[in-house]
């Protein structure tokens, strides 16, 4: 199992912050148009369909996109062509108008609930809730309003910034209706979604992630048996 988990470490042209560039749910994975074959081969470990995409003609898919198995939230910079391409995957799509448009940073969500940047307007939050099919609860994690950068969630668990306190972890668990734990990625960084991509079938971690950190990722996300 140890060797298999080391195989899940990867990078994007030498950049270990893979969560900035890739977004997945249990059905499909969005990855940059120019992704090298070795990265695409790693993405196959998530056991989903793959789609090469851009958001606002940018490769920062993980930064701009929030999604679960019900819907996808896109930023105001997404083009009509980009929105249409994702809609063809057969999932609800909402192009947000909020100025806080890095929704991968703003939202951590699974199919049972979600947490959201408290600065997102109530109107936008309601539209996102309708798209994702869950309630989105405004909160902070370790003082950060960009909760999507500090937490990554699936229907099996969540990994949260190692600075999160016990009360925050309890609240996240109650909202997402799964257990989780603190951790870090890429040798000590608490913005865990930047260095991790995960669904209920597998995960990828940044190349600089240590063996100890991998163990926490696996445990927190409920992926011990993969």
Q: Measure the CA–CA gap between 195 and 8, rounded to whole angstroms.
A: 12
- The structure tokens listed for 171 are 């609240």
Q: What is the pLDDT of residues 198-226, one digit of tens each?
A: 999 999 999 999 999 999 999 999 999 87
Q: What is the pLDDT of residues 28-46, one digit of tens each?
A: 999 999 999 999 999 999 9
Going by C-alpha positions, the residue among 57, 58, 156, 71 that lies closest to residue 107 is 71
**For the chain, which domains are there?**
2-220 (3.75.10.10)
- The alpha carbon of residue 142 and the mean position of all alpha carbons in its chain are separated, in whole angstroms, by 18
pTM to 2 decimals? 0.96
Instruction: Indicate the burial class of 33 (C-beta count within 10 angstroms; 0-12, 13-18, 19 or more).
Output: exposed
What rounded mean pLDDT belongs to the chain? Answer: 97
pLDDT level of residue 1 (50, 70, 90 thresholds): very low
Q: What is the pLDDT of residues 178-199, one digit of tens each?
A: 999 999 999 999 999 999 999 9
Q: Measure the CA–CA gap between 144 and 192, rounded to whole angstroms.
A: 13
Q: 72 phi and psi, to 5 degrees?
A: -130, 130
Query: Which DSSP letter does residue 58 get?
Result: B
């Amino acid at each position: 199992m140890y060797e298999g988990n080391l195989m899940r470490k990867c990078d994007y042209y030498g950049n270990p912050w893979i969560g900035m560039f890739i977004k997945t749910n249990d059905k499909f994975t969005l990855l940059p148009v120019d992704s090298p074959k070795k990265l695409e081969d790693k993405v196959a470990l998530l056991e989903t369909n793959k789609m090469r995409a851009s958001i606002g003609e940018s490769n920062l898919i993980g930064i701009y996109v929030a999604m679960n198995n019900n819907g996808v939230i896109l930023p105001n910079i997404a083009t009509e062509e980009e929105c249409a391409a994702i809609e063809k995957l057969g999932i609800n799509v909402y192009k947000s108008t909020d100025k806080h448009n890095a929704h991968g940073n703003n939202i951590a969500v699974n199919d049972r609930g979600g947490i959201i940047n408290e600065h997102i307007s109530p109107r936008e939050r309601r539209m996102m809730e309708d798209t994702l099919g869950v309630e989105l609860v405004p909160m902070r994690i370790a003082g950060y309003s960009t909760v999507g950068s500090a937490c990554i969630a699936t229907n099996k668990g969540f990994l949260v910034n190692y600075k999160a306190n016990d009360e925050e972890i309890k609240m996240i668990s109650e909202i997402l209706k799964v257990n989780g734990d603190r951790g870090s990625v890429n040798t000590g960084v608490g913005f865990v979604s930047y260095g991790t991509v995960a669904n209920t079938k597998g995960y990828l971690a940044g190349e600089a992630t240590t063996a100890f950190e991998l163990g926490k990722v696996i445990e927190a996300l409920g992926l011990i048996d993969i």
